[in-house]
Structure 1
Amino acid sequence: MKKKIAAATCMAVLCLGGSSALASIQKPVSYLSLDSKPSIELGLNASGKVIKVEVSNKEGKKVLSGVKITGLSVKNAVNTIVSSSVRNNYITKDGSTVVAITSETNNKTTADKIKCEANAGAAEALKKNKKKAVIQNESVSLSLHDEAKKYGITPGKLNLIKKLQALDSTATIQKYKDESVKNIMYAIKVKKAKGNVANKAKTPVSSTTTTTTTK
């Protein structure tokens, strides 16, 4: 009888352990968002595999049309997305397209790993397709993931809009949620430049007085 109870207990522990392991594989523990004009967010499990894909705009839907992302590593997923972006003409010929790669996690080691793999995937795709683009790397906490959902945008784009809002009180999420990353980055650059000019104007200019004696 005791043996049967012990066996049943072991089975219960194994089942619970198996359920926990399965949950860690099926539930996103971190995220990665890619934004240029298309906006896409990838949910990653503890093994770093893509288990969830969400798009925030029609451009993102177009890029993912006919493309399988779930089950891929970060590197391969980003490679696939960037390659599809090239095919759909979202990576311009002049190399001015800005692609924001944003890791969403509270763990710095995980953030660095996601960034490294994502950059490798993007670089590989651009090289393969003989294209150039500006890669913008960002890392944000998971709290921004929930906030971005309220606005129907990726945390990566929300992060950039917040940076703009810090420089421009008139900038709203509604105004910039459909803008490309390139345009948002340009707006940030312009505001920073204006701020620098204003600061220089406020800074007193030191002067040297020279007295000349005329005989």
Structure 2
Amino acid sequence: MRVLPCGDQALLVETESLEEALGLYRSLRRESPPGVTDLVPAARTVLLRLGPAADPALVERDLRTRDMTAAAHEQGPLVRVPVHYDGEDLREVADLTGLPVREVVRLHTGCEWTVAFGGFAPGFAYLTGGPRELRVPRRAESRTRVPAGAVGLAGEFSGVYPRSSPGGWQLIGRTDLAVWREDRDPPALLRPGARVRFEEVRPS
């Protein structure tokens, strides 16, 4: 790993993989060095925000002695997300993967995803742990408007759009579950470390 100063009150840890970043984040969330006030995970990094009394050298020493593999497999809370699998790109995803549409749905609902990190927009969670068969590229052209609740795929990730916004992910379904509500504490339903199971809503 590489530990880099980030301004006067933060350290940025660069890791070799997403799994290593997740392991470090979970380890730090369980027990942070003195003076660490916030953690921000990403695909290959973890940002540590430091309070005024923190000693960056001591924090870095703590980071380099951590066993991240032990924390990598800790399980967070389970969130069930009901999905109507009628997305605009569902057929395109089936064509890209060479799978029948029903197999795409079966694979998406048949595994447990994990929230790796948030980004792009408040409440947008990057979910990892899905089957390799569902790894598809982003759309060649982004949409100017993706509705709130749209469920998509891009690369190794799945995600739920928390609000209407532009977006380039392959849309395979939609959920009525509010993954972001400003009147909720915390507002984001899908937070790093949480486990996610997508469940198909069958037409009535």
Q: TM-score range, shorter-chain basis?
A: under 0.3
Hey, which of these two has a bigger chunk of strand by percent? 2
Hey, which of these two has a bigger chunk of helix by percent? 1
TM-score by length of 1: 0.25
User: Highest relative contact order (Cα 8 Å, sep 6+), 1 or 2?
Assistant: 2
TM-score by length of 2: 0.26
